[in-house]
Amino acid sequence: MSRRIVVKVGSNVLTRPDGMPNATNMSALVDQISALRALGHEIVLVSSGAVACGRGAVSPRHQLDSVAARQLYSSVGQIRLINLYSNLFAGYGIVIGQVLTQKENFSSRTAYLNQRACMLTMLDNGVIPVVNENDTVSLTELMFTDNDELSGMIASMVDADTLVILSNVDGIYTGSPDDPASRLIRRVESGRDLSEYVASTKSGFGRGGMGSKCGTAGKVASEGITVIIARGDRKDVLLDVIEHPDRAPHTLFEPTAAPLSTVKRWIAHSTSFAKGTITVDARAAEILRSDRAVSLLPVGVTAVEGEWEEGDIIAVDGPDGERIAIGRAATDSREASASAGRHGCRPLVHYDYLYLE
Ligand code: GLU
């Protein structure tokens, strides 16, 4: 069965410690992606490594702060990476296209659909999108947490069947991967909490770590997309996890049985764009969390904070400040304040636009 697969590859797989592209790993990756394409799969590649690759190419004249260093290195490293990809894929007659994006492109529904249309047109025309954050212009306070988060948003955006995150370990372990007593967790059922196993530390060049991978994987699986975490420099790993899963160690996050609609997927990844917060009482929190298809009504609302227009993203918190949901507002904040606590008013967030955390 042909699938749409988003493949995310981390800096530690793509670059060498001296800041040069790891041509061996990149070439192996391109071989496998080409083989998957030949089997009928569609691929989107989310590739890190721009900053790490830039380090080997330019020596700053003065000490740089972290923002300037990221901008300088990524500007140089991104071309090196994309050139190498382009040449390697050309060997298979495959055309690639570069997509440099920013978190802002996910912030409004219009910008989101525009970015989505671009990616779908590329796929439709047989072009492999090679995606990275535009690190030259991203503002620190509005960056993707890391490319794990970006890959989850892209997988969601293009309605992928599978997201494969290639890292420098075989998957999620019950302890430190270096400890012989640790076991690889092979399957993660939908909704299972892995926080007890995942250290918040990260290793090597990239910004991500296992905690971030787990967070992205759990969220994306809860939207209906299978997520696989595997070791990127293992021979034929990508081909194996897709075509012969018994051959390569990996962790697979099972997708939920009830996939989300496209619009709810967008909302699910929009927490950082929330313009305001609605707080509800315990009764309303319980109703929202039940399995019933309910909209957010003003009657249980105890507080309204922030200013927003109809269509903006807002957060919904419970009485103790715990996040319950993210939604697309059906009214502006003035109407929400005016109707808070009252019966018989129209919903503040319709069920179809309400994503439960
Ligand atoms: N966008 C960064 C780069 O290409 C990688 C971010 C990450 O490590 O997740 O260098």
pLDDT tens readout for residues 23-57: 999 999 999 999 999 999 999 999 999 999 999 89
User: What is the number of other CB atoms lying within 10 angstroms of the CB of residue 275?
Assistant: 15
Query: Global pTM?
Result: 0.88
Using the atom order of ligand 1, give the atom closest to the CA of residue 208. 9
- E strand or H helix at 65: none
Choose one of 13, 15, 135 to mutate for the ligand 1 pocket test, by most ligand atoms within 8 angstroms of C-beta: 135
Report DSSP letters for 127-168, one per residue: PEEEEEE-TTT--GGGS-SSHHHHHHHHHHHTT-SEEEEEES
- E strand or H helix at 63: none
How many whole angstroms separate alpha carbon 132 and alpha carbon 154? 10
49 lines ligand 1 (CB under 6 A): yes
140 CA distance to ligand 1 middle (Å): 13
Task: Tell the residue nearest (CA) to atom 5 of ligand 1.
Answer: 48
pLDDT above 90: residue 193:
no
What confidence category does residue 203 fall into, taking pLDDT thresholds of 50, 70 and 90?
A: low
How many whole angstroms separate alpha carbon 316 and alpha carbon 277? 6
Which of 336, 281, 288, 289 is CA-nearest to residue 312? 336
Please return the burial class of 352, using the count of CB atoms within 10 Å of its CB with bins 0-12, 13-18 and 19+.
middle
Q: How far is CA 238 from CA 92, 106, 159, in A?
A: 17, 28, 20
26 lines ligand 1 (CB under 6 A): no
Task: Tell the residue nearest (CA) to atom 2 of ligand 1.
Answer: 48
Question: What per-residue confidence (pLDDT) applies to 177?
Answer: 79
51 lines ligand 1 (CB under 6 A): yes
Q: Which residue has the tokens 């702060």?
A: 65
How many whole angstroms separate alpha carbon 123 and alpha carbon 129? 7
Helix (H, G, I), strand (E, B) or coil at 180: coil
Using the atom order of ligand 1, give the atom closest to the CA of residue 145. 9
96 CA distance to ligand 1 middle (Å): 19
Question: What per-residue confidence (pLDDT) applies to 199?
Answer: 63
pLDDT above 90: residue 215:
no
DSSP, res 112: H
Which tokens is 323 given?
């996040």
pLDDT above 90: residue 235:
yes
50 lines ligand 1 (CB under 6 A): yes
User: What is the number of other CB atoms lying within 10 angstroms of the CB of residue 342?
Assistant: 11
pLDDT above 90: residue 245:
yes
Q: To the nearest whole percent, how much of the chain has pLDDT over 90?
A: 73
Choose one of 13, 15, 48, 79 to mutate for the ligand 1 pocket test, by most ligand atoms within 8 angstroms of C-beta: 48
Using the atom order of ligand 1, give the atom closest to the CA of residue 207. 8
